[in-house]
Amino acid sequence: MHAAALAYFRETARLGSIRRAAASLNVAASALNRQILNLEASLGTPLFDRLPAGMRLTAAGELLLRHVAATLNDFDAVRAQIDDLRAARSGHVAIVAIDSLLVDFLPRALDRFRADFPAVTYALDAVAPAVVPQQVADGEADIGFTFVARSSRAVHFAAEFPAPIGVVMPADHPLAARSAIRFQDTAAFPFLAQAGPLPRSADIDPDFARFRASLKPRLVSNSIQALKLAVRLNMGIAFFTRLGFLDEIERGEVAWRPFESAAVNALRIGLVVAEARTPTAPGRQLTRFLISELGRLNSA
């Protein structure tokens, strides 16, 4: 049934009068009445009792009204989403994230997103985990990714996904034969470290923080690309989430194994958005898309 006919029926039921409903909808009373008669003919039953004082719903009309309310609400929601899609065809989205997401996951996700939104432009910056919420709160970024931890009330995590820190190593490394690795088992091998402190949420296992601090790295770098190559060249092992090594793991060049630590394995990465600021249309669409992509990745 056409949405206009349902809208005419709903307004007549609300006002109890064809004349008042027609005036409210700015249509001719004869046209509105014809739509209702067509509805009754198609359903094979009266929808209203026509009384001197106006129109009163029959039992069939009450049943249809419940259906119409749900149908038109759904239709309005879909129309709003379609309008949002149209508005999101162009625009700009600024994203800040921990750098392990920038080397693989986010560029691939943006490449898939641009198939439907080719005119959208992006700024994609790597920042320290603790800096992400503040930049989103200040409006420097529309979307952020960081380890889940207590943060400002000016932002919230729109979604969270498992992202434990584990051991990254060449695929043929001795530790790759294990399903999980104890902290002390890594001490026998050269360690490659990312510059900077651990994410604040990593201190949920103080043993891990103390163990990492006790290691003397063979190489320290603020470039995850340099560390990725160093791992592949068998210069040492590194501690990262697997999200920065998806391509190398898929190609069989490196292996990733979790630690034997329930606390470290509980680490999560969250998608951060501003609490009060209204996102742009492309920002809303990209946020939904990235949540879907991370959900698909974690279910694989």
Of 251, 256, 258, 189, whose CA–CA distance to 217 is shortest? 189
What one-letter code names the amino acid at 94? Answer: A
**Domain pair 90-163+268-299 / 166-265, same fold:** yes
Are 25 and 12 within 8 A, CB to CB? no
* pLDDT value of position 174: 96
**Pairwise CA distance, residues 70 & 109, whole Å:** 35
Copy the structure tokens of residue 38: 């067509």
In what helix (H) or strand (E) does residue 156 lie, and over which residues does it extend?
strand 155-162
How is the chain split into domains, by residue range? Answer: 3-87, 90-163+268-299, 166-265
| Other beta carbons within 10 Å of 135 | 19
Q: What is the pLDDT of residues 236-287, one digit of tens each?
A: 999 999 988 988 999 999 999 999 999 899 989 999 999 888 888 889 889 9
What one-letter code names the amino acid at 275? Answer: E
Q: What is the pLDDT of residues 67-105, one digit of tens each?
A: 888 777 777 666 666 666 565 567 889 999 988 888 888
* pLDDT value of position 249: 92
CATH 1.10.3720.10 holds for 3-87: no
User: For residues 15 and 150, which has the higher predicted lDDT (pLDDT)?
Assistant: 15
* pLDDT value of position 278: 83
What one-letter code names the amino acid at 294? Answer: L
Are 61 and 51 within 8 A, CB to CB? no
CATH 3.30.565.10 holds for 166-265: no
Q: What is the pTM of this model?
A: 0.66
Tokens 């960081």 belong to residue:
146
**Pairwise CA distance, residues 44 & 256, whole Å:** 66
CATH 3.40.190.10 holds for 90-163+268-299: yes
Between CA 146 and CA 151, with CA 149 as vertex, the angle to 5 degrees is 90
In what helix (H) or strand (E) does residue 13 lie, and over which residues does it extend?
helix 3-15
User: For residues 31 and 199, which has the higher predicted lDDT (pLDDT)?
Assistant: 31
Of 29, 64, 28, whose CA–CA distance to 46 is shortest? 64
| Other beta carbons within 10 Å of 76 | 11
In what helix (H) or strand (E) does residue 124 lie, and over which residues does it extend?
strand 119-126
